Chain A
Amino acid sequence: MQKTLYINSNGRLRRKENTLYFETETEKRAVDIENIEQIHIFGEVDLNTRALNYISQYGIVLHFYNYYGFYAGSFMPRKKNVSGDVVVRQALHYLDRDKRMFLAYCFVESAVYHMMRNLRERKEAEAFLNAIEDEWENGRFNISSIPELMGLEGRVRNIYYSSFNQFLPEDFYMERREKRPPTNPINALISFGNSLIYSTILTEIYHTQLDPSISFLHEPGEKRFSLSLDISEIFKPLIVDSVIFKLLNNRQITLEHFDEDLNYCYLNQEGRKIFIKELQNKLETTVRHRQLNRNVSYKGYIRLECYKLIKHFIGDSVYSPLKAWW
């Protein structure tokens, strides 16, 4: 029901009476506005305040990406779900050193868990898996500050990324992880996937009472919506990385899906389409939730993670981060 719209072509979003249309030079398509939760805009799209106001009425979040597919920013309509009470308590958990540390640790713990989960079934990565385990087990009880925790996470992540070379096609060799700007295909893929998951999480946060700018692992203000970065830690390995592995190992994405420009390497339009489709599949894939006894999609698990944080803040139940059991 809650759909995501990805706009890859150039055109215009226009409101005409009570319908929103996406028009390109050759076609005009009505947008199913009542069932859409977010729109990711990759193409060059014109829209005016009339369209924007209409989109706002439905609480739809817009995410914008530049020519290279790098995340540019989001438009979030005025929030309906505001609870002063929740925000105040969320802030208290930031201000209290131990409380902040607890949450920051939870995010990293889940991230490491999911990284190890990704490597567990790959024989080629066994040595790396062991190295991560050593690093993590030796390090995790000796952390007394957020920077130390970040450092440990960084070391684990480096081992994790360097294991990719063992099981991904040679074309996608990774010297090291580089963020901005990515200069080779694998880094471009990771960056693209990470920014999509970041904005998807931001949309989920938007629908709850959480304040996206109060974070715990990342310093608030590091990026405007740093809570989304915190929660991304959990879902990057769980969702993005598994999509990348699948696309590369099945040769669905190859070097021809990348373009280079000065210092950048980025996915071209065709590559983005393939990636988005696979990511969307993943987000919609459901897994039986043991307590709810219902099927919950990966996207649903993001929402549940937000709920768990709210429950933690209001003193209802202690946060325990997702550790995929399936």
Chain B
Amino acid sequence: MEYIQEYSELKFQGIKINYLYVCKRKLWLFSKNITFENWSDRVLLGKILHEYSYPKEETKEVLIDNLIRIDILSDGAVREVKHSSKMKEADIMQVMYYLYYLKQKGIQKQGIINYPKERRKEVLDLTPEYEEKVKQALKEIEEITKKPVPPPATKQRICKSCAYFEFCWG
């Protein structure tokens, strides 16, 4: 059972890295398990993309090292699927974190972010600069999630499409 736990922890941390760059409040709420099921089309769309984007790919969730599983893995790369490239930095950092994590396990990989809707992909390598950034990010996550109260809501463009919109602004 241990690898399952590690896997979900890995995913969990990956999302947190992503949110760190998207919205720190979102990160805090997510870290406290304050999440809401989504009935919105957007999320459904995300789900469908995940499920149907790469039907021919043999490996959707592969067990690495008999230990961790990552979204989609083939061609020796860690792959994330995103539905828009708006949050580029956040997405890149998420993948960098996976690469960093794998590196700790002695596995060297490339990362790919696919934007099927835009028919684009981005190939990423873990550079020393990014490695440093990932470490920095992990520290920052800890600091933010340790705070007793969430960072206040600040209106941003992404709020409108955020799952927390009604929570933050209602």
Contact = CB atoms under 8 A, between A and B. Distances in A.
Interface residues of A, number: 27
Interface in A281-309: 289, 291-292, 296, 300, 303-304, 307-308
B138 to A, nearest CB: 21
A96 interface: no
Contacts, number: 55
Contact of A59 (B35, B37, B167): B37
A86 B166 contact: no
B48 to A, nearest CB: 13
Contacts of B33: 81-86, 209
Contacts of B167: 307, 310-311
B39 interface: yes
Contacts of A209: 33-34
Interface majority SS (helix, strand, loop, mixed), chain A: loop
Contacts of A289: 170
Contacts of A314: 32, 34, 149-150
Interface string A34-68: 00000000000000000000000001000000000
A308 B167 CA distance: 8
A83 B32 contact: yes
Interface string A60-99: 0000000000000000000011111110000000000000
B36 A315 contact: no
Contacts of A307: 166-167, 170
Given A2-B39, A316-B149, A316-B150, A291 B170 contact: yes
Given A315-B148, A315-B149, A310 B166 contact: no
Given A81-B34, A209-B33, 17 more contacts: A1-B39, A80-B37, A81-B33, A81-B35, A81-B36, A85-B32, A86-B34, A207-B36, A207-B37, A208-B36, A209-B34, A292-B169, A303-B166, A307-B170, A315-B148, A316-B149, A316-B152
Interface of A: 1-2, 59, 80-86, 207-209, 289, 291-292, 296, 300, 303-304, 307-308, 310-311, 314-316
Top 6 closest pairs, chain A to chain B, by CB? A83-B33, A315-B149, A304-B170, A85-B32, A307-B167, A1-B39
5 contacts: A81-B33, A81-B36, A292-B166, A314-B32, A314-B34
